[in-house]
Amino acid sequence: MMLRLRTSCAIQLHDWMETSTGYILVLEHPEGCKTLHCYLENSLSVDKVTALQFMRQLLNAARHCFSHGVFHRDLHLTNVLVTEPSADLKVIDFGCALAFDNESLDSRKYHGNAIICPPEIKDHDAFLAGPAYVWCPGAIFKEIIKACETNAYRSTIRRCLSHDPADRPTLDELESRLR
């Protein structure tokens, strides 16, 4: 799965080996980083420029995964690293990731964080990866903006977190809103 994602916005798989009990993965280990959760929790404040930079980077990561047919299924604050001092984001932990095409996905096979999963996964037998990929960054954007203490982008975030997947912007529409 990770071999599909050759990008700076996702942790890189350098090598792997199969053993009798599973797999050994050799992953990139960025120096000087912490989870986005820790970064937001430990920062006195996040300025609007940094907040927008984080949101754009996270959107780029989601778009890259989506365009390469990888549904992360567990995208949340602790599965995003912030490298310091550059403040570059990297998505990590693809252990729940699923290859997909544009067909609907089986909600019963969702293995991500149940607390922040898109509502259609709980409410329906099937869901589409596109709207779900907007929900997850939207939930993270909400936390970034909360740390920034600004009202900017609140209406965009509300649309991302719409209970009805049809009311959410597409990843492309979301990109145009974050300019």
Q: What does the pLDDT average to over 120-149? A: 90
How would residue 118 be classed by pLDDT, with cut points 50, 70 and 90?
very high
Tokens of 149: 């203490």
pLDDT of residue 2: 66
- 3-class secondary structure for 101-142? CCCCEEHHHCCCCCCCCCHHHHHCCEECHHHHHHHHHHHHHH
3-state SS assignment for residue 178: coil
Q: pLDDT (tens digit, 9 = 90+) per residue, 40-92? A: 999 877 888 999 999 999 999 999 999 999 989 899 999 999 998 889 999 99
Could you list the beta-strand ranges (E) of the chain: 13-18, 23-27, 33-35, 70-71, 80-83, 88-91, 98-99, 105-106, 126-127
User: For residue 146, which of 51, 57, 75, 76 has the smallest C-alpha distance?
Assistant: 51
Domain ranges of the chain: 31-177
The model carries a pTM of 0.88
Q: Where does 31-177 sit in CATH, by number?
A: 1.10.510.10
